[in-house]
Structure 1
Amino acid sequence: MSTRTESTDVVVVGGGVVGLSAAAFLAWHGVRCQVLERRARPSAHPRARGFNPRAVELLRQIGLEPAVREAGAGFADHTMRARVESLTGRELFRADLPSGGELDAISPSPWALCSQDRLEPLVRRRAEELGAAVSFGREVDHFTQDADGVTLVLRDGGRLRARYLVAADGARSRARERLGIELKGTRALAYQLSIVFEADLRGPLGDRRFAICQVRNERVDGLLVHDDTLRQGILYIQHPERAPDHPEDRCLELVRAALGVQDLPVRILDRQTWELSALCATRYREGRAFLAGDAAHVMPPVGGFGASTGIQDAHNLAWKLGLVLRGPAGPGLLDSYEAERAPVADLTVDQCLRRVTTRTGFGPPAAGAGLIDDLTLTFGHRYRAGALAEPEPAAPPVTDPREPGGQVGTRAPHVALTRAGGSTLDLFGRSFTVLAGPGGESWTAAARSASAELGVDVAASTMTDGLVAGGGAEWCRRYGVGAGGAVLVRPDGIVAWRRPHAVPDPAGELRAALRGVLRPTPTSGRS
Structure 2
Amino acid sequence: MTETEVLIVGGGVVGLSAAALLSWHGVSCRLVERRADLSIHPRARGFNPRAVELLRQIGLEPEVLKASEGFAGHTMRARVESLTGKELFRADLPTATDLDRLSPSPWALCSQDRLEPLLRAHAAKLGADLAFGVELTAFEQDADGVTATVRSRADGSTERIRATYLIGADGVRSRVRQRLGIALKGTPALLRQLSIVFKADLREHLGDRRFAICQVVNDTVEGLLVHDDTLTQGTLYIQYDPAKGQNSADYPWPRCEQLVRAAIGVPDLPVRILDTQSWELSALTATGYGEGRVFLAGDAVHVMPPVGGFGASTGIQDAHNLAWKLAYVLRGKAGVELLDSYEAERAPVAEFTVEQCLKRVTSGTGFGRPPADAGLVDDLTLTLGFRYTAGDPSTPSGEPGTRAPHVPLADGRSTLDLFGREMCLLAGAGWRAAVPDVETHVMTEPEWAARYGVSDDGAVLVRPDGIVAWRGNAPAELPGVLARALCRDTG
Contact 2:96 2:106 in 1 (8 A): no
In structure 2, C-alpha distance between the alignment counterparts of 1:136 and 1:414, rounded to whole Å: 38
Alignment correspondent of 1:454: none
Q: Does 1:413 align with 2:409?
A: no
In structure 2, C-alpha distance between the alignment counterparts of 1:339 and 1:364, rounded to whole Å: 31
Q: Map Cα deviations across residues 213-238 of structure 1 (whole Å, 9 max, x no partner).
A: 11111111111100000000000012
Superposed, which structure 2 residues align to 1:471-482 within 5 Å? Answer: 471-472=445-446, 474-482=447-455
In structure 2, C-alpha distance between the alignment counterparts of 1:520 and 1:115, rounded to whole Å: 41
In structure 1, C-alpha distance between the alignment counterparts of 2:101 and 2:95, rounded to whole Å: 10
Q: Aligned pairs, how many? A: 480
Alignment correspondent of 1:163: 164
Root-mean-square deviation (Å): 1.2
Superposed, which structure 2 residues align to 1:115-264 within 5 Å? Answer: 115-155=111-151, 156-241=157-242, 243-245=247-249, 246-264=251-269
In structure 1, C-alpha distance between the alignment counterparts of 2:463 and 2:247, rounded to whole Å: 45
In structure 1, C-alpha distance between the alignment counterparts of 2:344 and 2:227, rounded to whole Å: 38
**Length-normalised TM-score, structure 2:** 0.96
Superposed, which structure 2 residues align to 1:402-441 within 5 Å? Answer: 405-420=397-412, 422-440=413-431
**Length-normalised TM-score, structure 1:** 0.89
In structure 2, C-alpha distance between the alignment counterparts of 1:480 and 1:209, rounded to whole Å: 40
Q: Does 1:87 align with 2:92?
A: no
Shift of the alpha carbon at 1:204? 1.1
In structure 2, C-alpha distance between the alignment counterparts of 1:484 and 1:148, rounded to whole Å: 45
In structure 2, C-alpha distance between the alignment counterparts of 1:483 and 1:106, rounded to whole Å: 21
Shift of the alpha carbon at 1:118? 0.9
- The match for 1:315 among 301, 313, 320 is 320
Contact 2:334 2:488 in 1 (8 A): no
Contact 1:25 1:315 in 2 (8 A): yes
Q: Does 1:397 align with 2:379?
A: no
Contact 1:222 1:236 in 2 (8 A): yes
In structure 1, C-alpha distance between the alignment counterparts of 2:67 and 2:247, rounded to whole Å: 33
Alignment correspondent of 2:363: 358
In structure 2, C-alpha distance between the alignment counterparts of 1:345 and 1:111, rounded to whole Å: 20
Alignment correspondent of 2:46: 50
Alignment correspondent of 2:479: 511
Superposed, which structure 2 residues align to 1:6-25 within 5 Å? Answer: 6-25=2-21
In structure 2, C-alpha distance between the alignment counterparts of 1:358 and 1:212, rounded to whole Å: 18
Q: Map Cα deviations across residues 502-521 of structure 1 (whole Å, 9 max, x no partner).
A: 32xx1x31110011111189
The SS at the match of 2:425 is strand
Superposed, which structure 2 residues align to 1:55-66 within 5 Å? Answer: 55-66=51-62
Shift of the alpha carbon at 1:361? 3.0
Alignment correspondent of 1:36: 32
Q: 1:195 is matched by which residue type in structure 2?
A: I
Q: 2:462 is matched by which residue type in structure 1?
A: V
Q: Does 1:303 align with 2:308?
A: yes
In structure 1, C-alpha distance between the alignment counterparts of 2:395 and 2:79, rounded to whole Å: 28
The SS at the match of 2:105 is coil
- The match for 1:376 among 372, 381, 385 is 381
Shift of the alpha carbon at 1:367? 4.5
Contact 1:413 1:478 in 2 (8 A): yes
Shift of the alpha carbon at 1:247? 1.0
Q: Does 1:331 align with 2:351?
A: no
Q: Map Cα deviations across residues 439-477 of structure 1 (whole Å, 9 max, x no partner).
A: 32x13x2x2xxx2xxxxx31010111xxxxxx33x1111
Moved more, 153-162 or 182-191: 153-162
The SS at the match of 2:308 is coil
In structure 2, C-alpha distance between the alignment counterparts of 1:478 and 1:439, rounded to whole Å: 18
In structure 1, C-alpha distance between the alignment counterparts of 2:96 and 2:340, rounded to whole Å: 38
- The match for 2:463 among 490, 514, 519 is 490
The SS at the match of 2:454 is coil
Shift of the alpha carbon at 1:274? 0.6
In structure 1, C-alpha distance between the alignment counterparts of 2:146 and 2:272, rounded to whole Å: 47
Q: Does 1:96 align with 2:79?
A: no
Q: Runs (4+) of structure 1 moved beyond 6 Å?
A: none
Contact 2:30 2:129 in 1 (8 A): yes
Q: 2:211 is matched by which residue type in structure 1?
A: F
The SS at the match of 2:134 is coil
In structure 1, C-alpha distance between the alignment counterparts of 2:290 and 2:344, rounded to whole Å: 10
In structure 2, C-alpha distance between the alignment counterparts of 1:361 and 1:302, rounded to whole Å: 6
Contact 1:189 1:240 in 2 (8 A): no
